[in-house]
């Protein structure tokens, strides 16, 4: 009897040890999907609808205004951070376009473009923490991040379309030039303020940040999305193309192009570039210390 008890106790003990070992193993070796879940990307559900995309200014880039209808979708509340991008890099040993192919990097300094060697998302040339938005990522890098995350989470994660981005920035398509309304307010975004010391800086404003700011440092827009104006430009899925006046439903941009869209302006931008309708773009394999991204997903 005693012998049996000892054996049972020993077995239970071994089981406990085994559980502990498994738990320990899990803690030290998280599966890739738990790593992806651990990114903690928060999404905001956005009810679709019909709006007049573009227009609001006389800039030909955002003309003509045209009617766009969107289905429901979700956008990340924040720009993707350095910490989140690092999880992806460590899981995949991914090398960004610039780490692989570019030894030199064009970086905006105080007054002009300079070539600086060795700049990357890890070391953009200014201080950053894991809570700052990732920069120096190309459209290819942003897309690779989305593809990895889609596999890990077993759901399609992607860059927002340009129409989704603008509709969200305009709080479901309102006729507002800035995320909060029509009047510029230098306290509501990280842009080229007096700290930036750049030729476009507005010295009358002090937003507290010379370069990037931790995501969510400024008030969200009415939908609860942060940094839709300023901080870093955000890559969208679409190729850059001229707008058509035709009505469109869930547009995805032209089939081909030279540049991919970026939206929202950045820490280096003057207010005009932080407007909801402002469009810019770049080659898929180029980037700056002020380009980043946020992710989106369709609602099934």
Positions in the binding site for Ca ion (CB under 5 A): 190, 193, 207, 209, 227, 231, 264, 267
Residue 62 or 231: the one with the smaller Cβ distance to Ca ion is 231
Q: For residue 193, report the phi and psi dihedrals to the nearest 5 degrees.
A: -90, -170
Q: How far is the CB of 144 from Ca ion (least distance, A)?
A: 20
Q: How far is the CB of 35 from Ca ion (least distance, A)?
A: 25
- Token digits of residue 111: 């007054």
Q: How far is the CB of 264 from Ca ion (least distance, A)?
A: 4
Q: How far is the CB of 207 from Ca ion (least distance, A)?
A: 4
Any residues with CB less than 8 A from the CB of 19 and at least 6 apart, and which? Answer: none
How far apart, in whole angstroms, are the C-alpha atoms of residue 76 and residue 244?
Answer: 28
How far apart, in whole angstroms, are the C-alpha atoms of residue 174 and residue 182?
Answer: 10
Residue 102 or 128: the one with the smaller Cβ distance to Ca ion is 128
260: β partners = 239, 282
Q: How far is the CB of 283 from Ca ion (least distance, A)?
A: 20
Residue 239 or 267: the one with the smaller Cβ distance to Ca ion is 267
CA distances from 159 to 82, 127, 149, 238 (A): 17, 26, 12, 9
Residue 157 or 266: the one with the smaller Cβ distance to Ca ion is 266
Are 154 and 297 contacting, i.e. CB atoms less than 8 angstroms apart? Answer: no
Residue 190 or 221: the one with the smaller Cβ distance to Ca ion is 190
């Amino acid at each position: 009897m005693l012998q049996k008890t000892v054996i049972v106790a020993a077995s239970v003990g071994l089981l406990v040890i085994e559980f502990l070992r498994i738990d320990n193993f899990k803690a030290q070796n998280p599966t890739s999907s738990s790593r992806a879940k651990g990114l903690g990307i928060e999404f905001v559900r956005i009810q679709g609808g019909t709006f007049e995309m573009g227009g609001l200014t006389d800039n030909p880039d955002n003309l003509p205004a045209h009617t766009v209808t969107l289905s429901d979708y979700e956008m990340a509340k924040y720009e993707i951070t350095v910490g989140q991008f690092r999880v992806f890099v460590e899981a995949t040993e991914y090398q960004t376009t610039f780490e692989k192919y570019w030894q030199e990097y064009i970086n905006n300094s105080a007054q002009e473009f300079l070539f600086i060697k060795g700049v990357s998302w890890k070391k953009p040339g200014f201080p950053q923490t894991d809570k700052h938005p990732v920069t120096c990522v190309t459209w290819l890098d942003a897309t690779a991040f989305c593809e990895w995350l889609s596999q890990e989470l077993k759901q399609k994660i992607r860059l927002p379309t340009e129409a989704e981005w603008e509709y969200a920035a305009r709080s479901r398509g309102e006729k507002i030039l800035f995320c909060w309304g029509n009047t510029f307010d230098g306290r509501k975004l990280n842009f080229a303020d007096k700290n930036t010391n750049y030729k476009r800086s507005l010295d009358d404003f002090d937003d507290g940040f010379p370069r990037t700011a931790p995501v969510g440092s400024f008030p969200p827009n009415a939908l609860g999305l942060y940094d839709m104006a300023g901080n870093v430009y955000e890559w969208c899925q679409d190729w850059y193309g001229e707008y058509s006046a035709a009505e469109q439903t869930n547009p995805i941009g032209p089939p081909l192009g030279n540049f991919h869209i970026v939206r929202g302006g950045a820490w280096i931008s003057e207010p005009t570039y932080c407007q909801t309708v402002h469009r810019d773009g770049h080659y898929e394999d180029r980037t700056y210390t002020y380009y980043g991204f946020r992710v989106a997903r369709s609602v099934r």
